[in-house]
A and B are shown apart, each in its own frame.
Chain A
């Protein structure tokens, strides 16, 4: 039966007399294709330099040449060592304990080296090594193989030698001494006792010298407050595992707040045990990792946060502070009361950059006698002083600075008043910078000296008081670099090497340990050094803080992203391509704004036809500085605030592809992360590279299963209530989906059977696993435009879901109550509504990698049997067998298979690390580098499990319990990912597999995955 329906191509067709419609009807192409003009023009045809015959000759010749060239196999050369170092056996990895601290990130590490090349960062798991690697630290190994590093010393931008630079600096120092000119050493936080001693010696020899510490992202307020109370410029250390009630006022302590590194302790308290888990209140402006993990998150402006803090202070301490009505008073009061009743089990943290606020934090924690708050073993990782930096710039402009020597800082890029700094720099007689990269600062100083990467240098560190960590080189310096400390040794006339200097100073810190043992372990743990208790006038601080008011149209809250942090590693493609855990946008920074404000300003985000996300541009104006950046509408952003990440918009020393985003440091006036700003819409649309366009879970409770602590404890023995097994209909009877199967199962009781457990309660979305997976498995970087086309290659992704209603539970209820298609409860409109996240949604993270299904849908559809199942539970992918039909990816319900659309290595179109010899040094030789046209996916680190088995075989022993690891599970500091052999009943993973919180992703599909998740329990 034919249909009389008429289809319209556009509204224009309704207009009968439209000339456009008429033209389109007659012409297939809108514009004329100039074939006739080309072919009819005899002159151009005959004058063409290539005739048809020539063309055929070329084709014939090149085909023949290609065929002939293919006949001969390449000759491979093998060049052994002349003198093989004793500890290096080609093919066997060596591990060195070291410590990373670049002024921003820090961690106790084990560095895996192969044939003398560091290729992977692992966590040091010794007792006392409490700082685990985050995503940036994992990626730092690639930053060493950065082809844009400063390679030779430059004097006035011309290649020179260190000796020449050294002479020049010495002469300048002598001149300064003679004339009484000021010498300034401007460094980032050092946390290195030997370096500090050296600087003291330097200052003793050069009485006009002074040392200024500058942190690009300042924690000055907290440092000032702590110094005022405890008399020491340091930061308090927190142990969130000891806290039952956590109240955070604007502190993203799972992110980079006060250096970060708190997720391990926090996650411990988040795993419900015996009906107990910590309760977490978060009051914040931007949506952060901490806010996403919180049980109760309240978006509020920073001014409101200050008032809330005062309110909490007054309730907890009972001090009377005059404070009026505040926003969200009920939640604030509730949080304060719970905090008070938790007593020593409570803790309060705040990220408000205000000395008064930080004083109140100390006061509240003192009043609580919080166990989680520790003033013994203070953190030494931030020492910067905003005031001193401001003074230095003033001095420079006044012409009173004679010699300026900088190390590991990039003030020209990171200072808001960088213009003043540059103009001051011109008045300095001699300026020198030790710099890893030829960055903005190194390219304007008189002397630029290449600094070694931390994997190439010696150092000692005191990260927390009472511990002592060593930094040791894992490779010979790649370039002719000089360490700042070597410079200091030279200028103080000390002929010792810095290694000898450290060793000579180590005795005090070694705590009875030998030097070799300390070097082997990477750290020495002593007793935490207590700080004498102190106090300050807290009431005055509270009163001052209570006066806080929002200024300007918007509060601009500057933050650091999980990917780039303060921006030091901006030339690291792994980090650039790392999707932000919250927005899932890679390769960009952007203005985050609440939906209400976006609507007011007519700012939009939309998914366009090719699946990419587009966003409007907006101009933020702070004072006289304005910055135009794209906009992301961020659910959970406090109305009246906008967020913008620091660390982007760098230009110097960056490959072209990496020069993305805008420099938000320009707005970072007076080191205050909150600025009064105005916002106007700007022209144009920005194309984002966002890897997740579906933001909500749409009530699909079987993807992320959630329950509340109340239900969980009350019905602990009836998991079917909160962790139901999906049912399917078999012979018209409802049966459990797991009992129905198309396939016969193999017997998996013999040998190893690998499972990966992921606890959604412990996962904070930090992304360390994503980068660790990149490093271990040679995952290629594809670039912004490819990511936008959904061709990202991440083997492991962390899905982030928002609830559409206030909670996920309400989403499920809403979906269940759909009745019919239309009407108030109709599914047509209902699902549409559920696509948009709530203004303050619940957030859940879910790491998803290949689920290694025992009954894998991908395996059955592969026409060439390139993907098959191993007896140990791994879904194996034979790249050399794959012909690239992509059936498997289409048949995968989890969408974890990745296709190599291009040859990503050795390809100028993809100018990332795999395109140069230096960057390729990071490649793991045990894992294949995939070629074009091949499907790839998570292998469950089969190279690691095989190695563990082989080691055990060689040593003639059974594999130890919990010896098996994957890159992600080893990188997971929060304990969310646990990998192991479920056939070993003693193993942790076998116990987790038996837990009643265990469930499989999309269980009703019947794929029987070897990855399982744990129901998320919220303490609401």
Chain B
């Protein structure tokens, strides 16, 4: 008997077209290149634009950044007034005098000087006698540049940056290619099988039919021993998983709630390298690490009212970050325009991430100051977190594990001198773990 396969089967057509399509898409993926950095060229172009006046604007920019940027911006009032186009307002000689020693100028009774002093909340400007007239010229040149109308690259109006493609073959692409190859192999195998069957049929070879036997499932069901073993195994296995599931109840690892202000640890601790304990200063002396009060934020943010134009990563752009800083100003009651506190405050209701139950006592200073443990050990690589999350499971097992493994830092602490001597003799070891110091006793954390 000869059977002829249906060469026009729909499934074959579909499989073929799919294979074809994927082959093309593979090539298009591999050719993906990052969009040209045309946007990046814009600021550069602006920077190299011919400078107005006599000074060197490029040198002026450097000087401005080093000396003036703490209190002045080009286009915005900060502690001091906005400086773009300042040369147009005052004559150079007067500016030299003012920059070299403003308070002397004010004392001398100069009307303009007093006016500026009054306008800026009577904040005395630091004297810069070290700046030569050339330096000042350079700075003036920089401030006299026209405002460059640049748009941050790829920033969408809602403030979120468009995802940036990485150059080269990403892991996804490689994986896609591999799976495609696999798929093609499967398809080929199918065809080969089909062809071979057809050939066999054409040659009149009868493929041996399988003997109908008792199905595996029925055989299994008849063997009571197997059923018993299997059900015990199933019970144990399900018990294991149920237990595992139960044990994660109340464990909030990776809890990353939305906070009222999008505070980026990545920007602060990572990019700017601010020490954890600058803001969380209580961690040194208190059981609480403490969420910094807003006046701590204002130590820096009094002068930093916006992020740099190039801050644009992880999907957030300048307008977004600037809006967050504005939220801080609203909360602390800081009026950016007048550079004054309005007195209207609105405390920030942060969502607490690390919640220990009431019955567990934890003291930061014990771990941070006495033991000298890095914050990252429990809190993870915070300097890379755009959104803060709970890194550790904060379970008792996790605490105990560390107490068992960690040696107590005793050097240079007179408290431990005597106890270390005695205990190391007792245990016959030079290093003592927290557990050996009694760090596993219930009452050390539960009272």
Q: What is A's interface to B at a CB cutoff of 8 Å?
A: 73, 75-84, 89-92, 747, 749-751, 866, 868, 870-872, 874, 876-881, 926-929, 939, 942-943, 946, 949-950, 952-954, 956-959
Contacts and interface: CB of A to CB of B under 8 A. Distances in A.
Contact of B447 (A73, A79, A939, A953): A939
A879 B446 contact: yes
A929 B443 contact: no
Nearest to B422: A750
Contact of B295 (A73, A83, A957, A958): A83
Contacts of A876: 441-443, 446-447
Contact of A950 (B332, B355, B370, B418): B370
Contacts of B370: 950, 953-954
Contacts, number: 152
Contacts of A870: 438, 441-444
Interface string B340-375: 000001111111100101111101111001100000
Interface of A is mostly: loop
Contact of B443 (A75, A939, A959): A939
Given A80-B290, A878-B443, A958-B415, A751 B295 contact: no
B441 A956 contact: no
Interface string B198-235: 00000000000000000000000000000000000000
Contacts of B355: 73, 76
Given A82-B331, A878-B446, A879-B446, A956 B286 contact: no
26 contacts: A76-B352, A80-B290, A80-B292, A80-B294, A80-B347, A80-B350, A81-B293, A81-B347, A82-B333, A82-B345, A83-B345, A84-B296, A91-B286, A750-B423, A751-B423, A874-B443, A876-B442, A879-B359, A927-B447, A946-B444, A950-B370, A953-B366, A953-B415, A954-B365, A954-B370, A956-B413
Contacts of A79: 347-350
A958 B418 contact: yes
A866 B348 CA distance: 40
A114 to B, nearest CB: 11
Given A92-B285, A959-B415, 18 more contacts: A73-B252, A77-B350, A78-B352, A80-B291, A80-B350, A82-B331, A82-B346, A84-B295, A91-B286, A92-B282, A750-B426, A751-B438, A868-B443, A870-B443, A872-B438, A876-B443, A877-B443, A927-B447
A880 B446 contact: yes
Contact of B438 (A80, A871, A954, A956): A871
Among all A-B residue pairs, the 3 with the closest Cβ atoms: A876-B443, A91-B286, A84-B293
Given A91-B286, A956-B413, A82 B294 contact: yes
Given A870-B438, A950-B365, A80 B348 contact: yes
Contacts of B415: 949, 952-953, 956-959
A91 B282 contact: yes
Interface string B62-88: 000000000000000000000000000
Contact of A880 (B257, B348, B359): B359
A744 to B, nearest CB: 16
Interface residues of B, number: 56
A77 B369 contact: no
A876 B445 CA distance: 10
B250 interface: yes
Interface string B287-326: 1101111111000000000000000000000000000000
B34 interface: no
Contacts of B419: 750-751
Given A870-B444, A926-B361, A928-B358, A91 B295 contact: no
A927 B287 CA distance: 13
B293 A80 contact: yes
A881 B445 CA distance: 12
B100 to A, nearest CB: 36
Contacts of B352: 75-78
A466 B443 CA distance: 47
B414 interface: yes
Contacts of A80: 290-294, 347-348, 350
Given A91-B286, A943-B447, A75 B257 contact: yes
B291 A91 contact: no
A997 B413 CA distance: 38
* Residue from A80, A879, A929, A950 having most chain B Cβ neighbours under 10 A: A80
Contacts of A952: 415
A777 B288 CA distance: 20
Nearest to B355: A76
A90 B296 CA distance: 15
A90 B287 CA distance: 8
B406 to A, nearest CB: 15
Nearest to A747: B426
Nearest to B445: A878
A716 to B, nearest CB: 35
B35 interface: no
A790 B262 CA distance: 55
B412 interface: yes
A91 B288 CA distance: 6
Nearest to A115: B288
B263 to A, nearest CB: 12
Contacts of B369: 954
A949 B364 CA distance: 14
A956 B352 CA distance: 32
Contacts of A880: 357, 359-360, 446
Nearest to B365: A954
B330 to A, nearest CB: 11
A2 B19 CA distance: 97
Contacts of A949: 415
* Residue from B370, B417, B418 having most chain A Cβ neighbours under 10 A: B370
B372 to A, nearest CB: 11
A929 B447 CA distance: 9
Nearest to B410: A953
A1004 B252 CA distance: 51
A877 B331 CA distance: 44
A956 B413 CA distance: 5
A750 B419 CA distance: 7
Interface string B146-180: 00000000000000000000000000000000000
A935 to B, nearest CB: 13
Nearest to B281: A89
Contact of A90 (B282, B416, B447): B282
A153 to B, nearest CB: 27
A651 to B, nearest CB: 37
Contacts of B423: 750-751
Contacts of A750: 419, 422-423, 426
Contacts of B447: 876-877, 927-928, 939, 942-943
Interface in B397-447: 412-419, 422-423, 426, 438, 441-444, 446-447
Contacts of A747: 426
A82 B361 contact: no
A565 B419 CA distance: 48
B423 to A, nearest CB: 6
A77 B259 CA distance: 10
Contact of B351 (A77, A83, A946, A950): A77
Contact of A73 (B250, B345, B360, B366): B250
A750 B333 CA distance: 55
A959 B370 CA distance: 15
Nearest to B331: A82
A928 B447 CA distance: 6
A881 B332 CA distance: 43
B247 to A, nearest CB: 15
A553 B50 CA distance: 116
Contacts of A939: 443, 447
A77 B349 contact: yes
A83 B294 contact: yes
Nearest to A83: B295
A79 B418 CA distance: 42
A870 B441 CA distance: 6
B86 to A, nearest CB: 34
